[in-house]
Structure 1
Amino acid sequence: MASVEEGSGSRLVQPDKYKWELVLLLWGAFFLNQADRQVFNVVLPLIRADLHLTDTMLGLIATTFTVVFGLLVPFAGLAGDIVDRRRVVLISLLIFSTGTLLTGFASSFLLLLLFRGVATGAGEAFYAPAAGSLIGSAHDKTRARALSIHQTANYTGTVLGSLLAGWAGQTFGWRSAFLIYGVMGLVWGVVFFLRSRRYAIPAPATRARGDQKDLFGEAVKLIATTPALIGQMLAFGGLIFVSVGFLTWTPTLLFERFGLQLADAGFSATFYHFMGAYVGVLSASWLTDRLIPSIPRIRLWVMALGLVASAPFIWWAAEAQSLAHIYIALAAFGVARGMYDAGIFAAIFDVVEDRLRATVMGIVLASGFLIGAASPVIMGSMKAQYGLEGGMQMLAAAALIAGVVLFAATMVRPLRPRT
């Protein structure tokens, strides 16, 4: 009989009854994870004016967040393969929510750097590997569907997070946006703890078998001998470079170029993009699930195509001089981005066994965020000389290169490690 994680009561809910509620609880946590991440980007002009910060300083805060995330996420992966993954998710939720709450009280650049860049970045780093592995262990035949539904929390959190943050910032000041989401996250942490502790979830295989000694080394060796994983590491770095720069500065572009109100700028910068991403991620996951038995590389090919297809639409958004054109460009970029997102975790699960999944995911995520960390500060530094359009053109080039690299990696044989 498989080992199961501890629960609080004598009656634990069995897998067929908990797996979709688990997705719902994790969806809420991921929603707050992404909403918290976007709050800073939306109220950035208000923070700049209130604390008298430069664009480079603001970019450095976003870059610090990404570096901290990237450095800690491998440890998050190890934790997810050794201890109860629910505990890892809960601790993550409580830490990033507390960091968000404290950001609302920051009165200087250094405090913003500490609360936003370090505390919130550290908390968010521990979420994805454990959450993805929880879903993977609870869902078998419905795994891709469950992961895609979970991924939509990313889009919804970014869009609604932008809308509420912009409204709160305009109405009550920028600090209120952080306070609202900080409190919401702490409350959801209580809900998650009370509901998930009832589940009979299998323990991580490494803990059940007791083979935890060289987990990280084994994961590194697997990645080094698996072309599909090497390609995903490099491509994910390109995607994060594009995504972090885009989400940090697009609200400011709309605010400055078109004179939109802060709430409208934050909402429009994300709504059209992520509505397109909904279409891309759900359709691509449906298609690749059906084709992968006969075309083993289909998930990776669709991911590479999504990155390449993103480039011209990012460039168009950078040059657009009308709101209609930039919204169309953002929506098309979203469809392409969703094609990539549909395979992020499913493609890893295709070649990695359960006992190493969180660790491998942590390493892949770390590489991506460390590669992508420089994007916000580079765009902030470029802004005075080249404008935000110059920075977005740089993002378009990065997306194109990442897609070509991923496609090239899929052509190396064998696709999977030899056994």
Structure 2
Amino acid sequence: MKNRVHWIILILVFVATGLNFLDRQVLSITIIKIQKEFNLNDVQYGMINTSFLISYALMFTIGGRLTELYGGKIGLGFSVLIWSVASGLHGVIGSFYQLLFFRFLLGIGEGGCFPGAAKTVSELFDQKDRALANGIAIGGSAMGAVLAPPLTILISNQFGWRWSFIIPGIIGIVWVITWVMIPWKSRKGEIERVTPVKKEKVFSFIEILSNKAALIFILIRFLLDPVFYFIMFWIPKYLNEKRGVSFDEIGHLLWIPFLALGLSNMLGGWISDRLTKNGVSVNKARKIVMGIAALLTVSAIMVQSVSSVALAITLMSLLLFAHGFWITNYITAISDMFGARGTSTVIGLSGTAGAISGLVINPFIGWIVQHYSYNPLWIICGLLYPLAFIILTVFIPKISLIKEVNRSLTI
């Protein structure tokens, strides 16, 4: 990471992923007010989340593929522009159906964010620094989630909930202008034109979908993403309805788990890179950190049984801390294996799988919450990561770069 411009670009990616999570989390906080104003029930709220996840699922793959072909600058830039406009439009909604549509539009933009971020890191950073760079890049998402509760509540109380959507949208458009103006440089420090990437032939969808490792990465995301969507979409309501936390108090508490996530994104990347620099293989380094993460998530089972809000927040923080370790090394492992020829596509496909899983399960979560309780959901949160780690170690015995491919793309 010798080139100073790479740091500037990485900081901008950090800001972009921060805006990504801030924009999507505003609704999970303001829904407390929106539900009362528009008389929405929990099932309708589940449908709104599903609308976002449908377009998010589609654009994770489509955006990932376009980013693979046209590079990180175009891919990420267009994504931020679309979701920033969509975020601003949330501020003018007048009905349930308008919210449903603007949420769908938000998903179209946000779906391309993380494939674009991963592609940018893959283009600019060597393997020895890639985990830390990925940790910083996606760590912005947690910082956005940290800022979302207090910032949303502050803006809502001062100017009304509608401005909680409009202001981040304006900031996103300013980001796009900055992103377009900055010169784009390769690892060698040469300024590249913003054109389709043709240096190496990218893997086709058929090649990737014929690969065992790619399918396992996709399966793992399918299993785990609903856990994170549950945290993102339902925890403010959980704290309000089941723990008696007021709207204003949520802003003082909800940032804590996401701060833990942001720190662990970067710490998990740093530990992984430090291990490789000390002679540990890439395979072992990524899996050691992911194994630790899987063990830590088991603590989520206890959320349902603790009596105090403070202990519940602590356990949620531990769950997201573990998730940060996991997701940074998960994304880096994909980059380690598929390089510049397939990273965005595999991340896009896996993100689509996770979003599909989330959109199918989200209305069901609403039904469980409305008719039963949150308790079964916490048990599931504590069991899925260990299951995913077992699948990873059994079916991907070695994480290493795929250099030569045939039709089956076996590893």
Same topology, TM > 0.5: yes
How far is the alpha carbon of 1:279 from its aligned partner? Answer: 4.2
Contact 1:305 1:403 in 2 (8 A): no
Cα 1:41–1:363 shift into 2, 3 Å: same
Q: Give the CA deviation at 1:330.
A: 1.7
Deviations 1:103-143 (A, max 9, x none): 11111111111001x10000001121122111211111422
Q: Which moved more, 1:165-174 or 1:44-53?
A: 165-174
Shift of 1:358: 1.5
Among residues 287, 304, 311, which one is paired with 1:300 in the alignment? Answer: 287
Aligned equivalent of 1:283, options 241, 260, 267: 267
The aligned runs of 1:5-404 (5 Å cut-off) are 16-116=3-103, 118-140=104-126, 141-196=128-183, 200=190, 202=192, 207-209=197-199, 211=201, 215-221=204-210, 224-226=211-213, 229-269=214-254, 271-292=255-276, 294-295=280-281, 296-312=283-299, 314-404=300-390
- Alpha-carbon offset, residue 64 of structure 1: 2.0
What is the one-letter code of the residue matched to 1:272? I
Q: Which moved more, 1:393-402 or 1:24-33?
A: 393-402
CA distance in 1, matches of 2:324, 2:197: 34
Deviation at residue 176 of structure 1 after TM alignment: 1.7
Report percent identity of matched pairs.
Answer: 23
Cα gap change, 1:237 to 1:220, in 2 (>3 Å): same
Query: Which deviates more, 89-98 or 72-81?
Result: 72-81
Q: Does the 8 Å CA contact 2:125/2:133 hold for their aligned counterparts?
A: yes
Indicate the larger mover: 22-31 or 139-148.
139-148
The answer to whether the 8 Å contact 1:93/1:124 transfers is yes
Q: What is the rounded CA distance, in whole Å, between the counterparts of 1:201 and 1:30 in structure 2?
A: 24
CA distance in 2, matches of 1:265, 1:196: 41
> What is the CA–CA distance in structure 1 between the aligned matches of 2:224 and 2:35, rounded to whole Å?
27
How big is each residue's C-alpha offset from its partner over 1:3-47, in whole Å with a ceiling of 9 and x where there is no partner? xxxxxxxxxxx9823111110111111111110011111111111
CA distance in 2, matches of 1:97, 1:178: 9
How far 1:266 moved relative to its partner? 4.2
Instruction: Give the CA deviation at 1:149.
Output: 1.1
CA shift, 1:262, in A, is 1.7
Conserved 8 A contact 1:166-1:267:
no
The alpha carbon displacement at 1:198 in A equals 8.0
Q: 1:92 to 1:201 in 2, by over 3 A?
A: farther
Deviation at 1:301, TM superposition (A): 4.5
Distance 1:231 1:291, change over 3 A: farther
**One-letter amino acid matched to 1:282:** M
CA 1:204–1:370: 2 relative to 1, 3 Å: farther
Deviates more, 1:331-340 or 1:279-288: 279-288
Change (3 A) 1:373 1:311: farther
Task: Work out whether residues 82 and 204 of structure 1, in 8 Å CA contact, stay in contact via their aligned partners in 2.
Answer: no
Give the conservation status (yes or no) of the 8 Å contact 2:201–2:341. no
- Where 2:290 maps in the other structure, the secondary structure is helix
Report the equivalent of 2:405.
none
Distance in 1 between residues matched to 2:78 and 2:339, nearest whole Å: 25
Q: Distance in 1 between matches of 2:364 and 2:386?
A: 18
Q: Give the number of aligned pairs.
A: 398
Computed over aligned residues only, the root mean square deviation of the Cα atoms, in angstroms, reads: 2.8
Structure 2 distance, partners of 1:259, 1:355, is: 50
Distance in 2, Cα, partners of 1:196 & 1:378: 46
Q: 2: distance between equivalents of 1:413 and 1:28? A: 30
The offset of 1:54, in angstroms, is 0.8
Aligned residues of 1:59 and 1:380 also touching (Cα < 8 A): yes
Gaps of 5+ in 2: 403-408
Q: Find the aligned partners of 1:135 and 1:209 in 2 and give their Cα distance.
A: 17
Deviation at 1:260, TM superposition (A): 2.6
Q: Which amino acid aligns with 2:237?
A: T
- TM-score (ref. length: structure 2): 0.88
Aligned-partner residue type, residue 246 of structure 1: I
Cα distance in 1 between the residues matched to 2:185 and 2:270? 31
Secondary structure at the counterpart of residue 321 of structure 1? coil
CA displacement at 1:159 relative to structure 2: 1.0
2-side partners of 1:86 and 1:318: how far apart? 44
Query: Residues 268, 403 of structure 1: CA spacing in aligned structure 2 closer, same or farther, 3 A cutoff?
Result: farther
For 1:204 and 1:303, the matched residues in 2 are separated by 35
Q: Distance in 2 between matches of 1:412 and 1:196?
A: 37
Q: Which amino acid aligns with 1:274?
A: F
Partner of 1:11: none
Residue range with higher mean Cα deviation, 251-260 or 273-282: 273-282
* Bigger mean CA offset, 54-63 vs 194-203: 194-203
- Listed one character per residue, the Cα deviations across residues 373-392 of structure 1 (whole Å, up to 9, x for unaligned) are 23432221111222233433
- Note the C-alpha offset of 1:334: 2.4
Q: Where does structure 1 lack aligned partners over 5 or more consecutive residues?
A: 1-13
Change (3 A) 1:40 1:215: same
